Each structure stands twice: as C-alpha cells, then as structure tokens.
C-alpha cells in the first residue's frame, strides 16, 4: 500500500508545508513507521505527523479475521510550542502509538486514550494522549472505494491525573474542562488542569 502513503505524505505537505526532518522506526513484526517534523516558525509551533499507520486498515479486535482492504485508516498529529522542551524525543513514542493497531489489534479513534508508559519527551508531565477529532488542521484524505478515508487525528497530551479523570468522566468532559480553564494544550510543560 505504498501508493496510499504517497498520497498521505502529499496531503501532509499541502497542509503543513515541507517537513524539515523525518525519522523511521520499525518494530518487530510491524510495518515501518515514519515521523515527520514540520516547523511553523511564524506561529512558534512544531508539528509531528506519523506516516505509515494508514498503510493498513485498523481491524476491529472482536473480528475473527482482519479485512485487508476495509477498515478505518489514520495517521497521528501532535502540535507543541517550539523551544520550551526537547520535544524531538517524542519521535519514538509517536511511532509506538502509530504501531498500536498492528501490535495490539486496536482501532485508534477520537475519544480514545493511548499511553506509552513513559514521558513523551524528557521532563514531560505526560505519558498518555487523548485522541481528538480529525478534520481540523489536515483534512481527511478520501481513497478510492472500497477503501476508507485516511483520518489525521490530533493527539492532546494528558497528565496522569487528567487521564485518570477522563477514564471516569469521559473524553468530552475532559475537553470541556480544558476549554473552560483556557488550557494551552500545546504547552509541552503545562500543569494538569484543575480537576474536582
């Protein structure tokens, strides 16, 4: 499915510009995952995008057989403020998250929590992320039928307290809490939002 990845990379370049760096990681028994870095100097942001997760459709873990054609496809996006932390160390954790559907047989969808079990980058108060809705920064990429479109899912880093609170109250409640508190979700060093 290399042709899908060519289309995916073209969509990323159209939306985010030219990547200034890329890294490739391969885990035993999985396809290669690349992570591209895009610098938005004007906005003071760094964006990271996975490339490779969408090569295969995600399979419903309750299905006896995985459909090699049909099924949701996605890539992951992470945006952080530049220069506040060594966020380039997030490349391996992002690749781990992108390999999750192949390794663990899960479908990554909006509202889901993903955890890497260690800080996303050195000194990060986050080891997990909330998967947000696609369609904002990078538009979904329609593929020829019967293939599902590729969705570009933003990742919102969560502190351990926020992740625990989200498990009890749900993703929407956490997003509303962030919004009502004016939380800067792009701050790589931010503290947990007030939870009561």
Please tell me the predicted confidence (pLDDT) of residue 29: 73
In this structure, the strands spanning 33-40 and 45-51 are antiparallel
What pLDDT shows up at residue 71?
85
The pLDDT assigned to 136 comes to 86
The predicted structure's pLDDT at residue 62: 64
Distance CA 27, CA 186 (A): 28
Q: Nearest 10 degrees: CA dihedral of 26, 32, 33, 35?
A: 90
Q: Strands 45-51 and 21-25, how do they pair?
A: unpaired
CA 9 to chain centre: 15
Domain assignment of residue 163, yes or no: no
pLDDT at 76: 98
Please state the domain count of the chain. 1
The string of DSSP letters for 6-18 reads: HHHHHHHHHHH--
Residues of the chain where predicted confidence (pLDDT) is lower than 70: 1, 61-68
State the pLDDT at residue 48: 98
Q: pTM to 2 decimals?
A: 0.93
Question: Given this model, what pLDDT does residue 67 score?
Answer: 65
pLDDT value, residue 66: 63
Predicted local distance difference test score (pLDDT) of residue 102? 85
What is the residue range of 108's domain? 2-157
What SS3 class is residue 84?
coil
27 part of a folded domain: yes
Q: What is the C-alpha separation between 51 and 176, in angstroms, rounded? A: 30
Q: Are strands 113-115 and 73-81 parallel, antiparallel or unpaired?
A: unpaired
Is position 121 within any domain? yes
Q: Is residue 8 part of a domain?
A: yes
Q: Does residue 190 belong to any structural domain of this protein?
A: no
Q: Is residue 195 in a domain?
A: no
What is the spatial distance between Cα 101 and Cα 49, in angstroms, rounded to a whole number? 16
46 DSSP assignment: E
The rounded distance, in Å, linking the Cα atoms of 129 and 187 is: 14
In a domain, 94, yes or no: yes
pLDDT of residue 63: 66
Report the side by side order of strands in the sheet with 113-115.
21-25, 33-40, 45-51, 73-81, 150-159, 126-131, 113-115
- Residue 137 located in a structural domain: yes
pLDDT at 28: 75
């Amino acid at each position: 499915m290399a042709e899908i990845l060519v289309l995916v990379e073209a969509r990323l370049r159209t939306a985010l510009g030219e990547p200034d760096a890329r890294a490739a990681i391969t885990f035993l028994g999985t396809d290669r995952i690349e992570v591209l870095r895009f610098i938005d100097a004007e906005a003071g942001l760094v964006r990271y995008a996975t490339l490779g997760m969408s090569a295969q459709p995600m399979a419903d873990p309750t299905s006896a057989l995985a459909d090699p054609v049909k099924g949701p496809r996605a890539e992951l996006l992470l945006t952080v403020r530049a220069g506040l932390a060594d966020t380039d160390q997030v490349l391996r954790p992002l690749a781990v998250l992108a390999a999750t559907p192949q390794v663990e047989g899960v479908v990554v969808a909006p509202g889901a929590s993903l955890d890497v079990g260690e800080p996303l980058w050195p000194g990060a108060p986050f080891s997990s992320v909330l998967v947000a809705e696609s369609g904002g920064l990078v538009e979904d990429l329609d593929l020829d039928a019967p293939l599902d479109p590729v969705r570009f899912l933003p990742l919102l880093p969560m502190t351990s307290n926020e992740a625990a609170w989200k498990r009890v109250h749900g993703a929407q409640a956490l997003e509303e809490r962030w919004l009502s508190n004016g939380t800067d979700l792009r701050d790589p060093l931010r503290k947990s939002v007030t939870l009561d």
